């Protein structure tokens, strides 16, 4: 169909579905929102290159994981191809949004990121706790906040922002978010605990044999959908509805199960 006949065809589908008491297909009206959300003709998805968000398939090199799954599903619904673009740091993603070279991402919410992108609802949460050295007397999450305790934490991260609001006695030692050996600060005695999301703490243990990850989660880092600040309000509305649907339908839970990442949960749900 072309032109007016295409639009009448779509309208007929919606009316028929409504009359039958059946929700209209998710792709019934993709054209306008597709152009608004993906003006380049493809959905450019910024993927923070962390192995709990995405990994490369050894055979094809194709990105797979929770974030690629979400990006590809969003692209499918607006009838455009997905272009998954790897970024090493959140700062690089912020710069890409400011230059207009990406359309959407899934990222933890912080004030500096919110200046460059419009965040929608959280889709997944990352449980956060602490790694302590073998000789530490700290046994629980609550036992970390006491005078003299120095906590290494990724700089400008959602967990740093949370800790700055909630800690009373302990001091923070911000470290580069992309450094894989952050636990070495603890090993060298320059910090008494290392705070990060569970998947990163499990990786950091390799740099500190005998260290312990404290049980529980003091803060679940919300990872939310985000689109460009320059996009019309309809884009944010569509992204909001998309997240609500993929959570309610079980799509997000299935993506988490496929990824097999510890400490990753459906936002507002249970650990998978």
The model's pLDDT over 63-75, given as tens digits with 9 standing for 90+, comes to 999 999 999 999 9
Question: pLDDT tens digits, residue range 157-189?
Answer: 888 989 999 999 999 999 876 555 667 788 888
pLDDT of residue 19: 43
**CA–CA distances in Å: residue 212 to residues 140, 218, 255:** 11, 16, 28
In 43-187, which ranges are E strands? Answer: 43-48, 55-56, 63-64, 82-87, 104-108, 117-132, 150-154, 171-175
Residue 30 pLDDT class (50, 70, 90 cuts) = very low
pLDDT of residue 55: 93
pLDDT of residue 205: 83
- The interaxial angle of helices 233-248 and 66-77, nearest 10 deg, is 120
Question: pLDDT tens digits, residue range 184-235?
Answer: 788 888 999 999 999 889 888 877 889 999 999 999 989 999 999 999 999 9
CB half-sphere exposure, 122, CA atoms < 13 A: 17
* 251-260 contacts, C-beta under 8 A, 24 or more apart: 251/69, 251/73, 252/66, 252/70, 252/123, 252/124, 255/65, 255/66, 255/69, 255/70, 256/66, 256/124, 258/69, 259/52, 259/65, 259/66
Query: What does pTM read for this prediction?
Result: 0.75
In 3D, which of 205, 234, 196 has the Cα closest to residue 50? 196
Q: What domains are there in the chain, each with its CATH number?
A: 3-13+28-125+221-266 (3.40.190.10), 127-220 (3.40.190.10)
Q: How far apart are the first and last CA of the chain?
A: 44
- Enter the tokens of residue 15: 């009316």
């Amino acid at each position: 169909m072309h032109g007016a006949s295409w639009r009448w065809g779509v309208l007929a589908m919606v009316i028929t579905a409504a009359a039958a008491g059946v929700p209209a297909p998710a792709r019934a009206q993709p054209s306008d929102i597709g152009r608004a959300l993906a003006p380049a003709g493809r959905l450019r998805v910024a993927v923070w290159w962390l192995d709990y968000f995405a990994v490369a398939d050894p055979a094809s090199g194709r990105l797979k994981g929770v974030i690629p799954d979400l990006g590809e599903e969003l692209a499918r619904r607006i009838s455009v191809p997905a272009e998954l673009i790897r970024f090493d740091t959140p700062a690089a993603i912020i710069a890409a949004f400011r230059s207009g070279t990406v359309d959407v991402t899934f990222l933890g919410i912080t004030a500096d990121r919110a200046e460059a992108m419009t965040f929608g609802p959280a889709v997944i949460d990352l449980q956060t706790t602490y790694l302590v050295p073998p000789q530490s007397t700290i046994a629980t999450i609550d036992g970390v906040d006491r005078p003299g305790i120095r906590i290494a934490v990724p700089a400008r991260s959602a967990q740093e922002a949370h800790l700055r609001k909630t800690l009373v006695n302990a001091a923070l030692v911000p470290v580069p978010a992309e450094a894989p050996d952050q636990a070495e600060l603890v090993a060298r005695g320059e910090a008494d605990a290392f705070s990060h999301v569970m998947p990163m703490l499990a990786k950091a243990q390799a740099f500190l044999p005998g260290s312990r990850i404290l049980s529980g989660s003091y803060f679940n880092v919300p990872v939310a959908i985000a689109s460009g600040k320059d996009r019309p309000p309809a884009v944010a509305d569509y992204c909001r509805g998309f997240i609500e649907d993929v959570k309610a339908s079980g799509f997000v839970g299935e993506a988490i199960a496929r990824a097999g990442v510890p400490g990753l949960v459906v936002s507002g749900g249970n650990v998978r």
